[in-house]
Structure 1
Amino acid sequence: MHNESIRYLIVPGWQGSADDHWQTHWQKSLPNSVRVEQADWLKPRREDWVGELQRVIAADSSPVILIAHSLGCVTVAHWAQLAPLDTLRQVRGALLVAPADVERANCPPALRNFAPVPEHLLPFPSQVVSSDNDSAVSALRAMEMARNWGAEIGILSGAGHINVKSGHQRWEQGFAYLYRLQGRIEQSARRRA
């Protein structure tokens, strides 16, 4: 977006995003980027994660684009269900990458308190990006989440969990999804003007 006042909020998933994770690289390269830091990355509590996301958004009145990965995507969906209207209005859009299916049979027990995955429409433009071989979510389930959230969906071939382990350190190609989302946000703003 051409507006420098936009804040990019990086919302990592379970265990955080290491130094070589694409979210860390993006945080360094996107202007006005802030990471949502959780108190406990290993034993996440839904209330704590949602509360911290709310705190970081509300800490500054500037408009926000959320860039979430894995459990961070589910955190965003839970937050959007409970957030006060004034902070909801700050969020211009969300890029939701490799959303974790916390309802799947092989879900780690530490993540189960984030179930069920919210099924409501998100009140801002959103883009889900997933993979056809992600162990944390099937392509069909990612498509279902995107449909429920009112998000556009992109399914990558053989990209795994779109993290360091699957070879996505800088993930420059991901910027295309962010730019597409920003284009939709700008188009929506022009229609309202």
Structure 2
Amino acid sequence: MKITETDILLIPGYGKPLPGHWILRWRDKMPTARVVKQTELLAPVKKDWLEKLVEDVEAAERPVVLVAHSLGCILVAHGAHVLKDKVRGAYLVAPSDWDRPGLVEGFDGGDFKPVSRDPLPFPAHLVASRNDPYCTYERAQEFADAWGATFQDAGEAGHINLESGHGPWPEGMMSFAHFMKRLG
């Protein structure tokens, strides 16, 4: 499947993505990509975030491919059952483990926990780091297995965000291109 034949919805996680974050760079590089703009980035509510994602999916004019980071991955897992008709696939990067107590100071995961373990009704690929402070490598593998996603070891890449040195993240773009090709 070609990027130009799809609407790419980029789903950031908890907090505002900083300028230079790979999600914002991908938005600028792919003409059919746009960021799902959530409200309450530091006190997210699953219902509100899911309503906004569904709205953006329904507004798409082409088949949709989701690209999610961190809490965005968990949102996709929770909402997959209502997204399945237009979504062709999901590329999931560095999911955060909100079932883990004290993951982020000031936010306990709210209604994003427990993290859904239901299989996704569309193809998915999960990229995980061996030293992500927000999700152990083993837990990320468990998510991939539960969701029916293929799994990619990103090595010691932290949370695969700007703070861990992943602004442009060219390896991610190459991996995403392979995922798109797999979608046919």
Gaps of 5+ in 1: 187-193
- Aligned partner of 1:178 in structure 2 is 176
5 Å-filtered alignment, 1:143-158, equals: 143-158=141-156
- Aligned partner of 1:189 in structure 2 is none
* 1:74-105 deviations in Å (ceiling 9; x for gaps): 00111113x1xxx5221111110000100013
- Aligned partner of 2:9 in structure 1 is 9
Q: Tell me which moved more, 30-39 or 110-119.
A: 110-119
Of 92, 99, 114, the match for 2:88: 92
- Aligned partner of 1:134 in structure 2 is 132
Deviation of residue 18 (structure 1)?
1.8
For the Cα contact (< 8 Å) 2:130–2:154, is it kept in 1?
A: yes
In structure 2, relative to structure 1, the CA distance for the partners of 1:35 and 1:3 (3 Å cut) is closer
Deviation of residue 130 (structure 1)?
0.8
RMSD: 1.3
- 2:103 aligned with 1:107: yes
Task: Tell me the secondary structure at the aligned position of residue 44 of structure 2.
Answer: coil
For the Cα contact (< 8 Å) 1:95–1:181, is it kept in 2?
A: yes
The whole-number CA distance in structure 2 between the counterparts of 1:3 and 1:179 is 8
Q: Which amino acid aligns with 1:140?
A: E
Q: Which amino acid aligns with 2:7?
A: R
- Residue identity over aligned pairs, in percent, reads 37
- Aligned partner of 1:190 in structure 2 is none
Of 122, 131, 134, the match for 2:120: 122
Deviation of residue 3 (structure 1)?
6.0
- Aligned partner of 1:33 in structure 2 is 33
Task: Tell me the secondary structure at the aligned position of residue 91 of structure 2.
Answer: strand
Q: Which amino acid aligns with 1:185?
A: L
Task: Tell me the secondary structure at the aligned position of residue 179 of structure 1.
Answer: helix
Task: Tell me the secondary structure at the aligned position of residue 10 of structure 2.
Answer: strand
Task: Tell me the secondary structure at the aligned position of residue 18 of structure 1.
Answer: coil
* Number of residues of Structure 1 aligned to a counterpart in Structure 2: 182
For the Cα contact (< 8 Å) 2:99–2:109, is it kept in 1?
A: no
The whole-number CA distance in structure 2 between the counterparts of 1:155 and 1:105 is 25
TM-score where L is the length of structure 2? 0.94
* 1:14-44 deviations in Å (ceiling 9; x for gaps): 0131221000000000121111001111110
Q: Which amino acid aligns with 2:143?
A: M
In structure 2, relative to structure 1, the CA distance for the partners of 1:43 and 1:110 (3 Å cut) is farther
TM-score where L is the length of structure 1? 0.90
The whole-number CA distance in structure 1 between the counterparts of 2:60 and 2:123 is 21
The whole-number CA distance in structure 1 between the counterparts of 2:60 and 2:99 is 33
- Aligned partner of 1:63 in structure 2 is 63
